Structure 1
Amino acid sequence: MASSGGTKAIVAALVANLGIAVTKFVAYLLTHSSSMLAESVHSLADSGNQALLLVGGRRARREATPEHPFGYGRSRYIYAFIVSIVLFTLGGLFALYEAYHKWQDPHGIESWHWVPIVVLVAAIGMETFSFRTAIVESNHVRGSRSWKEFVRTEKSPELPVVLLEDLGALVGLILALVGVSLTLLTGNGLWDAAGTAAIGVLLVVIAIILAIEIQSLLIGEAALPEHVAAVQQAIVGDGVASLIHLRTMHLGPDEILVAAKIELDAATSAADVAAAVNGAEERIRAAVPVRTTIYLEPDLRQSPGVPAR
């Protein structure tokens, strides 16, 4: 990911959500619509989430320390995982609670009837701008991957998080608009409660998807297949006869760990071994477009049937 692209999408979403949250909450105070309250809390949660993503990106840029010799790149995964928790609790569960409360005591919108419609239509416009920004920035790094593949395989969490948040926000706004419109037409507050419940279910589902994908990154995912292939091809060269086995893992979105056993050509001295290993490291760094931490172990090819150690 281009970090600048992710930051641009985050900032666009943050500005849009702050403005939307304020207008929705004013609409709630005027109309007492549960859909408007759920949506204002949703936008407030999204604003907090974008702030968390910015903090995570900043903390990830810290230099490695003796206590954290591989750096702080995974801070971006940790903060993105916190985002999924906030979206689940403050967004989804609050909306479900508010829907239950409204279902127990349904009432129509008794004043300022036009306010929620105007606010929701304006919010859809602002959220569409944010969503479009996230799509444009994602297309810079998505390549030929489908959107589903992009969300599942992208190692930088910010753009998938913002994409899913913005998509959820747009769908939530439409659900709120439907619930409020039907409440205004029928005078029955149960439609408002139903719209609020639908928003809650939507946010819970998105939060679970995010948590599953980011959990995989936190555990440690291998490098992208094209990067693994590039490493495999680059290792074999001057002084290196073959690759015995290879392990890769993302230390952060923009850095991978490469650990491999390699078979060397006939070496007559330690200097030959060092030259072969250093040459392989240089070829790997030239072949892979992300930072690499490399550990290569010279070894002998095992006889057939003997597992590599």
Structure 2
Amino acid sequence: MANENKLVVYAALAANVGIAVAKFVAAAITGSSAMLSEGVHSLVDSVNEVLLLYGLRRSRKRPDREHPLGYGRELYFWSFIVALLVLSLGAGFSLYEGIQHILHPEPTSDATANYVVLGVAAVFEGTSWWLSLKSVRQRKGRMSYFEAFRGSKDPTTFTVLFEDSAALLGLGLAALGVWLSHATGDARFDGWASVGIAVVLALASVLLARESKALLIGESAQPHLLQRVCSVVSTVPGVVSVNGALTHQLGPDQVMVAVSTEFEDDLTTAQIEACVERMERAARDAKLPIVALFVKPQTPERWRRRVAELDRHAP
């Protein structure tokens, strides 16, 4: 999973670095505002991919005394920073450049360089987009893309997919702005294309920031993981029943679980401790992505009261 995520991010990084250079050269030759905005867009995306790779590496660090539950949330932090960069640098610069070009229009020179760069950029961005889309398809199962995006605990692939989708839309707007500017002789169309790119980037950044914030604050794990945990630990000798579990996502493959369990009444403290050890071993043998398993001896009635309390405070 981690290697697949890195492949998607590396592909996007390689595409964006080359495209950013080409766009800046074309903008310098032709004076196109939309091309300059697209160059900044690709540059910001390149920085974002570097931050995601850094977050992926940091999130894999082993737990230590200062961080006993690991570093998984570092990836969520850097994903949130990426969303802020898309908004502040990408959308902000594109909006500023577009308004300036609308207020002070300057005719662009021969658009051939723009069209060539836009065409090449579309090929590279499209390739990166297809790789990230394939990765998302493999994970989403029967869910819709939106449901998979909302339920995903791994922001890397979806972030790249959103960035590449915004990039392809931006390329289309840039091409339209360049064509209209030359077809009508009105250079302001180029500025309006830059404003359109800013709107696309702002929408993408808001969606990414919203999901990254939810993961950073802390979400429960996927329901299927909760069911697997309860199924595995309920088979351990000495356990009468598993009332339920509370889960907390700490990283894409790192989950903390608190299990409410009813044990046999005649078990001693030492026997309960041994039973908890068997529960932890069963979770490891099942290869569940659990970094910490907490077990609370509890009757079903107390568990139901706790769940009802959580439901009362649900938004």
Same fold by TM (over 0.5)?
Answer: yes
| 2:289 pairs with 1:290 | yes
Structure 2 counterpart of 1:42, which letter?
H
Deviates more, 1:284-293 or 1:86-95: 284-293
Deviations along 1:66-112, one digit per CA (max 9) or x if unpaired, are 11111111110001100000000110111011111011011221x23
Structure 2 counterpart of 1:260, which letter?
V
* Aligned length in residues: 307
1:59 is matched with 58
| 2:256 pairs with 1:257 | yes
Q: In the aligned structure 1, how far is the partner of 2:57 from the partner of 2:255?
A: 19
Deviates more, 1:126-135 or 1:274-283: 274-283
Cα RMSD, aligned residues only: 1.9
Q: What is the correspondence of 1:208-247 to structure 2 with a 5 Å cutoff? A: 208-237=206-235, 238-247=237-246
**Contact kept? 2:259, 2:294, Cα under 8 Å:** yes
Q: In the aligned structure 2, how far is the partner of 1:301 from the partner of 1:160?
A: 39
Choose from 106, 116, 119 the match for 1:118.
116
| 2:133 pairs with 1:135 | yes
Deviates more, 1:134-143 or 1:280-289: 280-289
Shift in alpha-carbon separation, 1:169–1:126, aligned structure 2, 3 A: same
Q: In the aligned structure 2, how far is the partner of 1:48 from the partner of 1:89?
A: 13
Structure 1 residue 65 displacement after superposition: 2.0
**Contact kept? 1:93, 1:200, Cα under 8 Å:** yes
| 2:11 pairs with 1:12 | yes
2:145 is matched with 147
2:22 is matched with 23
**Contact kept? 1:231, 1:287, Cα under 8 Å:** no
Q: In the aligned structure 1, how far is the partner of 2:141 from the partner of 2:238?
A: 35
Q: In the aligned structure 2, how far is the partner of 1:306 from the partner of 1:216?
A: 26
TM-score when scaled to structure 1?
A: 0.94
Structure 1 residue 287 displacement after superposition: 4.2
- Provide structure 2 residue ranges, at least 5 long, that are not aligned to the other structure: 310-315
Structure 1 residue 285 displacement after superposition: 3.5
Structure 1 counterpart of 2:281, which letter?
E
Structure 1 residue 253 displacement after superposition: 1.0
**Contact kept? 2:243, 2:303, Cα under 8 Å:** no
**Contact kept? 1:107, 1:189, Cα under 8 Å:** yes
Deviations along 1:195-240, one digit per CA (max 9) or x if unpaired, are 1110000000100000000100001010101101111222322211
Q: In the aligned structure 2, how far is the partner of 1:264 from the partner of 1:208?
A: 47
Q: In the aligned structure 2, how far is the partner of 1:199 from the partner of 1:303?
A: 54
| 2:159 pairs with 1:164 | no
Deviates more, 1:25-34 or 1:279-288: 279-288
Choose from 167, 170, 173 the match for 1:175.
173
**Contact kept? 1:231, 1:288, Cα under 8 Å:** no
Deviates more, 1:185-194 or 1:267-276: 267-276
- Aligned residue for 2:294, secondary structure, equals strand
Q: In the aligned structure 2, how far is the partner of 1:183 from the partner of 1:155?
A: 43
Q: In the aligned structure 1, how far is the partner of 2:267 from the partner of 2:158?
A: 51
Structure 1 residue 289 displacement after superposition: 3.7
Structure 1 residue 305 displacement after superposition: 8.7
Q: In the aligned structure 1, how far is the partner of 2:178 from the partner of 2:259?
A: 60
- Provide structure 1 residue ranges, at least 5 long, that are not aligned to the other structure: none
- Aligned residue for 1:107, secondary structure, equals coil
Deviations along 1:239-271, one digit per CA (max 9) or x if unpaired, are 111223421001111110001221101334233
Shift in alpha-carbon separation, 1:305–1:171, aligned structure 2, 3 A: closer
Q: Percent identity?
A: 36
